Amino acid sequence: MAPGISTEESTMATMPPKNEDNPILYSDVNQEELQAKTSKYLLNYGTKFNKDVICGSRGLYVYTASGHKVVDFTSGQMSCLLGHGHPEIVQTITDHAASLDHLFSGMVSPPVISLGERLCNLLPTGLDKAFFLSTGGESNEAAIKMAKIYTGKFEIVGLGGSWHGVTAQALGAQYHFGRKGQGPLMPGMLMLPSPNAYRSIFRRADGSYDWEAEMQYGWRMVDMQSCGSLAACIVECIQSSAGMHVLPPGYLAALKRECEKRGMLLIVDEAQTGVGRCGDLMAINHENVVPDILTLSKTLGNGLPLSAVVTNPEIERVCVERDFCFYTTHVNDPLPAAVGDKVLEIVVRDELVEHSRAMGKVLHDRLNALKEKYGCIGDVRGRGLMAGVEIVGDRDTKSPALALGKAIGDRAYDLGLWANLSSHPSFGGAFRIAPPITITKDELLSGLEILEEAFATTPGTLPA
């Protein structure tokens, strides 16, 4: 096979001849040299790079420069909903890269129209019109701007453990380490306490989680801080970055009522939960709540940069009258739109929502069985094929155990499984598990066996 990277002649990677049976795109690479070039040429953007260079991906797996085959239990960045290199997605990309890739922002094309039609027909009434951008941050930025223009107000409420992106308004609506170092953020950003059934101090007499009291306390704080210009509240149905915290049953409906009392819009960000991940087509379907604006990203593009903003005709009408503007270089681009349209087609055609629900039960049953065996697992939570496993040093005190979590994650990776530990100071301590929703039961059980072996062979996991 032709070399993937010539370490003597070029610093650029070249592709070997196409081999559909070989998932490794770059071969004969020198990992140590590439790691040195990573340090020399790649700007750090706030993450720690994985110790291995990834040279290929296919289905449920990624492949390292050293030939290590790793089960990808996070679907890339929680995005490859159908797995890596899905043949129909590959063909869609190939066709559109050759013949209909990118257009001027005022032009429309068949795949964009088809995606808009398919998406809106799958969503509840009240989410009837869409446009398409590249990232979740962009879509949330656009949704917040739309809410401000529609209401004529400027204050935005977010949950403390959210992650909506790193653009100005999206970043302002979340409360974690990413806010630091750049001076004042957007004015009028206010916070509600994040629902956290495991750690919240709001408890009923029987010790159960009292999210209603917590929410009312939060809104009292918001009302005291507000200058009377509340425009919108933006939330995720499952706060993934914070450790896969699920909104309690009834929370989203109560949140919408609180927004309506104040003349606010409700924005729901389904970057990770959307398109079947949680055992429903959208997480809003689980609670039968229709937000004023819905945003999608990650899962819609199956790893390609594609996001969506969806709302109703009345909000669109007012925003157009008030000169709403959000055209970007890649707004309504045909190539990613064609991919999103194909993703929705496959999810519906192959009944992957139902499959996600069934595999989610297997996942959560096995994770809860692990919890019974290992005292370092403080909590298992999530829904469908989204799960969080929180690692603690002591179940009674719930003391965080980041070092232990990292050791378990490193051991799992060495054994052939990638599961992300949410380890930033604002969120730390929970493994996030979100495999492709095409995963088979055998593949899922095989990955979970690796995870169990990692717990069994890591010192300090406190076997029961």
Active site residues: 163, 236, 269, 272, 298, 432
Find all residues with CB under 8 Å of 278, minimum gap 6, and list them.
Answer: 237, 238, 286, 356, 360, 383, 384, 385, 386
Question: What is the rounded CA–CA span in Å between residue 343 and residue 332?
Answer: 16
**C-alpha 34: how far from chain center:** 29
Give, as one character, the DSSP assignment of residue 48.
Answer: P
End-to-end Cα spacing for the chain: 50
Within 10 A of 368 (CB to CB), how many other CB atoms are there?
Answer: 13
Q: 367-374: which pairs have CB atoms within 8 A and are 24 or more residues apart?
A: 367/433, 367/448, 370/448, 370/451, 370/452, 370/455, 372/464, 373/455, 373/463, 373/464, 374/455, 374/461, 374/462, 374/463, 374/464
Antiparallel, parallel or unpaired: β 61-64 and 54-58: antiparallel
Q: Which amino acid is at 275?
A: V
- Copy the structure tokens of residue 428: 């730390």
SS3 category, 231: strand
